[in-house]
Amino acid sequence: MTTSEVTTEIVATVREWVEREVMPVASDLEHADEYPAELVAAMKELGLFGVTIPEEYGGLGLDLETYVRIQIELSRGWMSLSGALNTHFISAWMIGEHGTEEQRERYLPAMARGERHFAYSMTEPHAGSDVQAIRTRAVREGDEYVITGQKMWATNALRGTNVMLLAVTDPAAEPRHRGMTAFIVDKEPGREEQPGLSISGPLKKLGYKGVETVAMSFDGLRVPAANVLGGEGGVNQGFKYFMGGIELGRVNIAARAVGIATAAFEAAIRYAQQREAFGKPIAHHQAIQLKLAQMATKIEAARVLTLEAARRKAAGERADLEAGMAKLFATETAAEVALEAMRVHGGAGYSPDFVVERIYRDAPVLILGEGSNEIQQLVIARRLLERYAV
């Protein structure tokens, strides 16, 4: 089979699984804020935890575009499932791209099987978009680093077996990003208290429920120096490594946005043909038709931007402009489409009995995550000024 045929087959398999197993239970799990353990286990069986991990390390070895299409399908069913994969996927990419061979052999096969599940932690209570303001410190003591500090909004950090962590190793560095290092932290899954590390219970959120989001407190956690991403050569290179991961994360966020916008549109156009007002289905009223046309057009534009960003990143090209554009447009589209879908539903859209209520609550986190959309616009503008310099 060609790569294109493999992509088509696996995406179709995921879509069928989502429609059969996810959609019937997603809203109940979401409203209960219940971790979807059985669905995550099924995702491991489907090989989704190793989609982009090279075959030599036990993964499927598929490209970023395939991963994006899978994320669209998962989010179309329930966005929280994509969250179970995203931090894991970014961490696998970082290990494959920057890790030592020993680190690749140690982690990637187990990650592909889903035996290791990674969180990705950069944000702190006082440092979100301003990554250079992080304070978590890692101090070298012999063959170990001692880590102290706090992290916030860490997805998969409680149930996960590992955390890809960014910490300051040279506080005197100028600029500050030159003094940061990425660490592969091994931890016990499911334990809130372990030596040197405390993990909070799940943080309360408007939406994006089911998937765990926690705070972490490090108090003298000891990590082997061998767990510096990239080995000795990776010391003080962590900011660069994490920013490469964030580019991937922005493509993933855009894919999630396309997925939930698609789900909202499908719910709206189905409801519009079933609901009658003034003697005919509301889909026959021009006001509703204009909404449906705008929704579908913007979703398709978001899909094209997202796939183009994925292609550029997969080709090894600089993709911060394309990833920023995709993330900005797709997430704003998702929020707009979610609201328009609720309007198409009328009062019913405000009820938890209809999926658009859940999507409406999920959409805002995409505008904020992986760099707010205000930050995206600054990134886009700076790259455009570089490209069109006079």
Q: Does domain 119-236 have CATH number 3.30.1490.20?
A: no
Name the catalytic one among 232, 370, 374, 386: 370
* Average pLDDT value for residue range 2-6: 75
175 prior amide bond cis, ω within 30: yes
Residue 101 has pLDDT above 70, yes or no: yes
Strand 144-155 relative to strand 213-224: parallel, antiparallel, unpaired?
antiparallel
Predicted confidence (pLDDT) per residue in 125-169, tens digit:
998 888 889 999 999 999 999 999 999 999 999 999 999 999 999
Within the chain, all domains assigned CATH 1.10.540.10 are found at 3-116
Other beta carbons within 10 angstroms of residue 289's beta carbon come to 13
Within the chain, all domains assigned CATH 2.40.110.10 are found at 119-236
The CATH number given to 3-116 is 1.10.540.10
Distance between CA 331 and CA 334 in Å, rounded? 5
Predicted confidence (pLDDT) per residue in 280-312, tens digit:
999 999 999 999 999 999 999 999 999 999 999
Q: How far is C-alpha 207 from the geometric centre of its chain's CA atoms? A: 15
Residue 97 has pLDDT above 70, yes or no: yes
Please list, in sequence order, all residues whose beta carbon lies within 8 angstroms of the beta carbon of residue 169, skipping any fewer than 6 positions away. 137, 138, 139, 140, 145, 179, 180, 181, 235, 236, 238
144 is a catalytic site residue: no
* Angle CA 73–79–81, to nearest 5: 85
**Band of residue 3 on the pLDDT scale cut at 50, 70, 90:** low
Strand 118-121 relative to strand 162-168: parallel, antiparallel, unpaired?
parallel
Within the chain, all domains assigned CATH 1.20.140.10 are found at 240-387
The CATH number given to 240-387 is 1.20.140.10
| Secondary structure class of 209 (helix, strand, coil) | coil
